[in-house]
């Protein structure tokens, strides 16, 4: 993120640049504090070094409703080791100090943000170098205050759209978004899957017809062949559980290798 550039501008330009280069934006997720705080920062750095266009900074929460077993476990471990919301803000600050200039989108749930104070959280996150936020359990109808704070600081705000959303709902949600839309690939929770839904292409096209915003797809993408399939139709590819699971079993270098292959698969052939 260049000096004087807003977080939202950085997100918009990242998607534009990837489109110009005929590829989808690669946006991996990793939980701050898993398996411990210093290691999670090294993993996020490794993801950026492997070619991530943007990073989702996972803020651990005790009851992550949209997340499957892998991210739930990572959140629980992070919380047990004392990771708090302030540590997530500090993580963004540290990553910026280490030279990371890709958009850093903080993803987490509403209750910790309310307990911390919405204005305090957005202000401190902006000062630390955050680019935007994804709050899965914040309905657009109730997001006016949070969205206004994002607008005041020039930050992105990304709502989620489910496969069963109606055209009216999609249009309403898109109006609240700042930067891009997050398309949940399945009706369910996060987690690596062997196959993607057969109607995913139609789903992306259905949303595409109702908004000009970039569309990033997440939930279930775990291997390059799936990333390639999504990149052919969407503007962004989000991967989370597969990276966390690999970190647990094989370590940072394996995560770096998978991330690099996923990034390579985002090129449109």
| Whether the bond into 239 is cis, omega within 30 of 0 | no
Question: Could you tell me the CA-to-CA distances from 196 to 62, 210, 217, 218 in Å, in that order?
Answer: 28, 23, 11, 10
Distance CA 269, CA 265 (A): 9
CB 196 within 8 A of CB 230: yes
Q: Do residues 103 and 14 make contact, with C-beta atoms less than 8 angstroms apart?
A: yes
The rounded radius of gyration (Å) of the Cα atoms in the chain is: 17
Instruction: Tell me which residues are annotated as active site.
Output: 56, 67
For the chain, how far is it from start to end, CA to CA, in angstroms?
28
Cα–Cα–Cα angle for 230, 235, 237, nearest 5°? 50
Strands 156-157 and 160-161: unpaired
CA distance 179 to 60: 23
């Amino acid at each position: 993120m260049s000096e004087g550039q807003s977080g939202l501008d950085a997100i918009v330009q990242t998607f534009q640049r990837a489109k110009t280069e005929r590829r989808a934006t690669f946006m991996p997720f990793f939980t701050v504090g898993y398996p411990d705080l210093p290691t999670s920062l090294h993993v996020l750095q490794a993801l950026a070094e492997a070619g991530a266009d943007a990073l989702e900074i996972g803020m651990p929460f005790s009851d992550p409703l949209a997340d499957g077993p892998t991210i739930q476990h990572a959140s629980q471990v992070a919380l047990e080791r004392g990771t708090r919301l302030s540590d997530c803000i500090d993580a963004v600050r540290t990553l910026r100090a280490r030279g990371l200039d890709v958009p850093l989108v903080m993803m987490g749930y509403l209750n910790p943000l309310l307990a911390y104070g919405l204005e305090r959280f957005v202000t401190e996150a902006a000062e630390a170098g955050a680019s935007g936020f994804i709050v899965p359990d914040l309905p657009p109808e109730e997001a006016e205050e949070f969205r206004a704070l994002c607008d005041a600081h020039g930050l992105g705000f990304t709502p989620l759209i489910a496969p069963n959303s109606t055209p009216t709902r999609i249009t309403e949600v898109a109006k609240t978004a700042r930067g891009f839309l997050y398309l949940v690939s399945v009706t369910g929770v996060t987690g690596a899957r062997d196959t993607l839904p057969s109607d995913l292409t139609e789903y992306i096209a259905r949303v595409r017809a109702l908004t000009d915003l970039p569309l990033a797809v997440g939930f279930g993408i775990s291997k390059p062949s799936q990333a390639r399939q999504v990149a052919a139709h969407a503007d962004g590819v989000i991967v989370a559980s597969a990276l966390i699971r690999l970190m647990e079993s094989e370590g940072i270098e394996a995560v770096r290798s998978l991330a690099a292959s996923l990034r390579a698969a985002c090129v449109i052939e």
